[in-house]
Amino acid sequence: MRRSPLVLAVFIGVIFGSEGISAREIHVSKGGSDSASGSHARPYLTINKAASVAQPGDTVTVHAGTYREWVKPIHGGTDDGRRITYRAAPGEEILIKGSERITSWTHQAGGVWKAELPNSFFGEYNPYALTVSGGWLNYGQWHHRGDVYLNGEAFYERKTAQELIKAEHTWFCQVDENVTSIWANFGEANPNTELTEINVRESLFMPEITGLKYITVDGLHFMHAAANWAPPTLDLQMGAVGPRMGKHWIIENCTITNARCVGIILGHAPGVDYTNIDAYGDHIIRNNVIRRCGQAGIAGRKGATRSLISGNLIEDTNYRREFGGWETAAIKFHNSVDTVISGNLIRGVFRQEQGAFGIWIDFGNQGIRITGNVIYNTEAATVFLEMNHGPILVDNNVLIGQPIRSNSEATVFAHNLFVDCGYEYSPDTERRSEYYKPHTTKAAGRKSGTAQDDKWFNNIFVRWGLDQVKTAPGYASDYNVFLEGAKKSSFGDENSVVALYVAGLTIKDHPRGATIAFSMNDAPFHVKGPQVNAELVGVFPTVGQTIEDRYGNPIEVNADINEKKHTQPIAGPLADLKKGINTIVWQIKHQ
């Protein structure tokens, strides 16, 4: 029977989708073959094979196993309804590694073993022939981009082979024209029978094409990337995972472990018009576990614009303290506009010398909101606001142990709990950073670091207050609570309360979160603070905007760290604050 053209059109639309191409589920399995069809019954062997054929709307489902490859997507999606999704098969563990297993070690003496590999083993990128290098790397520059792992634990690099004899879990390398030699001290372990791995790949999931859009990466575990130090001056910033200045990526429910430098890179890449805010960014980075990265958990210049960084656990950044400098932080962004950093748990940021900040908003960022984060155990500032001209809204955070550092202007602090965390301002008149026409990346001017227009409302300070902050034009502070010796500012706080009450804060770490507990007396209930909103803080003169979202809608801080609405504004990050013990429980939503 001959069908009418209308019936045929409907039939084609149902079967193949609105663009005439059916959305497929492409399968990858360690028991597959790249010459197979990619179906569930006949899966591919490598993720890269799936990436080479995946089209808008397709889902690449990866099944359990270890995949030693750098996944390089060549296509992106077209919109949210036709993304290309790379996901772990439900309930299955997928490891994507930048390392290879080595079983050709020869015993030297004691716990020291040696592996010799032809340079051809590494292809075009040999991490043992390359040291970490780049701007603001101020110590440990002799370290290589490679690593040695025994049963998942990274060793410490040494400068000479002689240093290995007395120190287990250390390694040393030499590279000549033909051979790469690696010595390592395995103690009593036999590296040929244990799981012994070395880095060989620069990245793990990142295109070689700039600007791919609408890609989702969901539930994969990435390990052992060997990318270089990634300062903002590079034409191409590399990391373990990143969109290479793409747009509308979602990276969620993933784990990233032992990236030599950066875990997720939202950074600079060639071929992008940075004055066009619609050309890049708009990413969602959520519910990931990022640990043991040498430089930063999440970092990048410009590429985090309009992005949401939410619900991530970032811990043990630079835990080996091997190398570092003025780029070491759990989260670090340059030149980003309208970025939201919300609900993350950051703990353990380490250093020998410089760096080691929790969240570092560095140079020419605008319209940033830092909300609902828990940060502790950083060896430098919990939050560093460097050379920005506002507005920056810092609200409903729990910041413990190190003072906020700033040489920015137009920052609003509202409903935070600061414990041993004051505010240190250091003016910077030598440099000038950009500010933009509101909600664009088109420069409106440049200016040096200026103390002006910072505001503090409805916060709780424990042990360290605002008494060391010098007044400046536009500074305002009121409706705060100061406990355990914390003192008011000299330029406001007429309606704030000071009490000697001991909050007795405790932190209990969990593998996937933390519990913060503190006691409270009736002091906050004597402060009747206002709603913190655009009307209260006003328009900041340098940038010509107030606290507002990416669309220009005014922001009202009307919910707490748990997203519970305020019935009446009260100091601190809990809308239901009570006398006695209060708890804040942070738990990763990572599946």
Average pLDDT, the chain: 95
Q: Which amino acid is at 213?
A: K
Which part of the chain is CATH 2.60.40.1180? 101-199
In three-state form (DSSP H/G/I as H, E/B as E, the rest C), the secondary structure along 304-335 is CCCCEEECCEEEEECCCCCCEECCCEEEEEEC
Position 21 scores a pLDDT of 57
Position 437 scores a pLDDT of 98
> Which residues on neighbouring strands pair with residue 475, listed in sequence order?
none
Residues 6 or more apart from 166 whose CB is under 8 A from it?
none
Q: How much is the average pLDDT of 366-389?
A: 98
- Cα separation of 448 and 542, whole Å? 11
- Cα separation of 247 and 212, whole Å? 7
Which part of the chain is CATH 2.160.20.10? 311-586
Entry pTM: 0.96
Position 590 scores a pLDDT of 72
State what percent of residues in the chain have pLDDT above 70.
Answer: 96
Q: For residues 514 and 508, is the Cβ–Cβ distance under 8 A?
A: yes
Q: Would you call 131 exposed, middle or buried from its count of C-beta atoms within 10 A (0-12, 13-18, 19+)? A: middle
Placement of tokens 């140079």 in the chain: 363
Position 22 scores a pLDDT of 72
Coil vs helix vs strand at 539: coil
> Which residues on neighbouring strands pair with residue 62, listed in sequence order?
28, 88
Residues 6 or more apart from 136 whose CB is under 8 A from it?
231, 325, 326, 327, 354
Position 75 scores a pLDDT of 98
- Cα separation of 419 and 404, whole Å? 11
pLDDT in tens, 287-316: 999 999 999 999 999 999 999 999 999 999
Residues 409-432: b if buried by 16+ CB within 10 A, e if exposed: bbbbbbbbbbbbbbbebeeeeeee
Among the listed residues 375, 384, 428, 382, the one whose alpha carbon sits nearest the alpha carbon of residue 402: 382
Q: By 3-state DSSP, what share of the chain in percent is helix, strand and coil, each rounded to 5?
A: 5, 35, 55
- Cα separation of 298 and 349, whole Å? 13
Among the listed residues 36, 31, 74, the one whose alpha carbon sits nearest the alpha carbon of residue 56: 74
Position 9 scores a pLDDT of 36
Position 289 scores a pLDDT of 98
Q: How much is the average pLDDT of 337-342?
A: 98
- Cα separation of 296 and 230, whole Å? 9
- Cα separation of 407 and 428, whole Å? 6
In three-state form (DSSP H/G/I as H, E/B as E, the rest C), the secondary structure along 172-224 is EEEECCCEEEEEEECCCCCCCCCCEEEECCCCCECCCCCCCECEEEECCEEEC
Helix (H) / strand (E) element for 331: namely strand 329-334
DSSP-assigned letters across all residues of 277-307? GGGSB--EEES-EEE--SSEEEEEESTTTT-
Cis before 391 (ω within 30): yes
Q: Would you call 508 exposed, middle or buried from its count of C-beta atoms within 10 A (0-12, 13-18, 19+)? A: exposed
Biggest distance spanned by C-alpha atoms of the chain: 89
pLDDT in tens, 115-161: 999 999 999 999 999 999 999 999 999 999 999 999 999 999 999 99
Q: Which amino acid is at 175?
A: V
Q: How much is the average pLDDT of 539-561?
A: 98
Q: How much is the average pLDDT of 414-435?
A: 95
Q: For residues 263 and 239, is the Cβ–Cβ distance under 8 A?
A: yes
Q: For residues 236 and 265, is the Cβ–Cβ distance under 8 A?
A: no
Given 3.40.50.1000, 3.30.2320.30, 3.40.50.2000, 2.60.40.1180, which CATH number is that of 101-199? 2.60.40.1180
Q: How much is the average pLDDT of 209-234?
A: 98
Please say if the pLDDT value at position 111 is more than 60. yes
Position 20 scores a pLDDT of 47
- Cα separation of 366 and 440, whole Å? 9
Specify the pairing of strand 148-150 against strand 196-199: antiparallel
- Cα separation of 149 and 196, whole Å? 6
Residues written for the chain: 591
**What is the number of H-type helices and E-type strands within the chain?**
3, 51
Architecture of domain 311-586: 3 Solenoid (2.160)
In three-state form (DSSP H/G/I as H, E/B as E, the rest C), the secondary structure along 66-134 is EECCCECCCCCCCCHHHCEEEEECCCCCEEEECEEECCCCEEEECCEEEEEEEHHHHCCCCCCCCECCC
Q: Would you call 142 exposed, middle or buried from its count of C-beta atoms within 10 A (0-12, 13-18, 19+)? A: exposed
Placement of tokens 């900041």 in the chain: 540
DSSP 523: G
- Cα separation of 486 and 419, whole Å? 9
Please say if the pLDDT value at position 12 is more than 50. no
